[in-house]
Structures are given as C-alpha cells and as structure tokens.
Amino acid sequence: MKTLLSLLALVPTLALSAPATAWKLDPSHSTVGFSVKHLVISQARGEFSRYTGTVTLDEADVSRSRVEASIEAASVDTRNADRDGHLRSPDFFDVAKYPTITFASTQVEKRGADRLAVTGNLTLHGVTRPVTLDVSLTPEVKGLYGETRRGFTATGKISRKDFGLTWNKLIEAGPALGDEVTLSFELEAVKEQPKAASR
C-alpha cells in the first residue's frame, strides 16, 4: 500500500516534468504572408515560399516553449514579377546583402486555453527588433500516414521604418505604401519523433 501511495504521489511531478514536444513546419501546407496598405485605398499582399521552422511546445509550462524560423527573403511572391523584383532590390529586402529573415522567441505566455503570446527577435534587412505574435493552436490530429500534425495561426504587426525599409513615393492622396505591415501565418507542423536510443 505504501508503495502504491508513493507512486500516486509522483504522478503530478511526472506530468509536470514531461518532455516538451518538438514540431517541424510543413511548408507544403503552410502560408507565411504579409500585407501593407497600397495607395491609401487597399491592401497589397504577399507570401514567402521557402522557409523552415520549429516549435518546441511545453504545454505543462509554456514559458519553456521556443519558436525558431528562417525565411529566404528572395522567395517573396506577390503574384507580380516586376514588384517581386523591386522587393528583392536594395530599395526593400536587399536579398543579396540580407538573404534571410529570422525569428527567435524570447518569451512565450499563455493567453487562454488555446492561445499564446510569443515575443521574439525578428531580424529583417539586417535589423533586429522585438515582435509579439498572437498565436492560436489547434488540437493534434493524425495525418494520412500516421504522423501527428497540429496547426498554428499567428498574427502580428511591424513598422517598415523600424527595419530600415523606408522606400516610398508620395501620390495625391498620400504615401504610396503604408508603414504598418501585418504579418499573418497559417502553419501546419508535424510532431518530430524521438530518436531511438542506440544499443
């Protein structure tokens, strides 16, 4: 009886010490996008097609969770070849000099049953600034091949000027491009399986 009681007493401790789960982004089922005001009257939208990322999620203590991502700046796609070329130029991303955009979390906070606030360092155009993303999580599901998948939706806002992206032109109604950029990510991730111990 004492042994059984001792084991039961350990259950909460074991639950709290459960290892964090690592998730790897699946770009073929994800979208990394942004939008910015165009000509004061509409939103110009774009995406990046090449990126990698991992989420290490500790649901017992989300403060121990981590998020890391790397985006190829040259993969920008706004469905307009001329505009994409301009975005890759020194006027904007300057991809020859700054080929990658990175994000590394510094703080993860719980904001509800399935919501997190993820703050981290965004490095864009050679400038690093803190950014906070509002993240929603979906439950885990089994994929077509038995793999475990989960969805993450993240949104946030940044200032172009904060990252040295100051190119603009004035039109009669005002600036051709807004300063505020809305970030929007629809992400699907696959749970990484622990490596089998070597014999």
pLDDT band at residue 161 under the 50/70/90 scheme: very high
CB atoms within 10 A of CB 138: 12
Asked which of 37-41, 46-50, 143-147, 158-162 is least confident by mean pLDDT, the reply is: 37-41
Tens-digit pLDDT profile for residues 90-133: 999 999 999 999 999 999 999 988 999 999 999 999 999 999 99
How would CATH label the architecture of 20-191?
Beta Barrel (2.40)
Q: Residue for token digits 């121990």?
A: 64
Instruction: Tell me how long the chain is.
Output: 199
The letter for the amino acid at 134 is D
User: Between these two residues, 164 and 196, which has the higher pLDDT value?
Assistant: 164
H helix intervals, 75-194: 81-88
φ and ψ at 25, to 5 degrees? Answer: -65, 145
Classified as helix, coil or strand, 20 is coil
Q: What is the pLDDT of residue 39?
A: 81
Q: How many CA atoms lie within 13 A of 89 on its CB side?
A: 9
How far is C-alpha 147 from the chain's CA centre?
A: 21
For residues 151 and 171, what is the distance between their CA atoms, to the nearest angstrom? 41
Residue 23 and residue 65 in contact, taking contact as beta carbons nearer than 8 Å: no
Q: What is the pLDDT of residue 20?
A: 86
Tokens of 2: 């004492």
Mean pLDDT of the chain: 88
CB atoms within 10 A of CB 172: 6
Say if residue 168's pLDDT is above 50. yes
Q: What is the pLDDT of residue 4?
A: 39
CB atoms within 10 A of CB 168: 15
Residue 25 and residue 187 in contact, taking contact as beta carbons nearer than 8 Å: yes
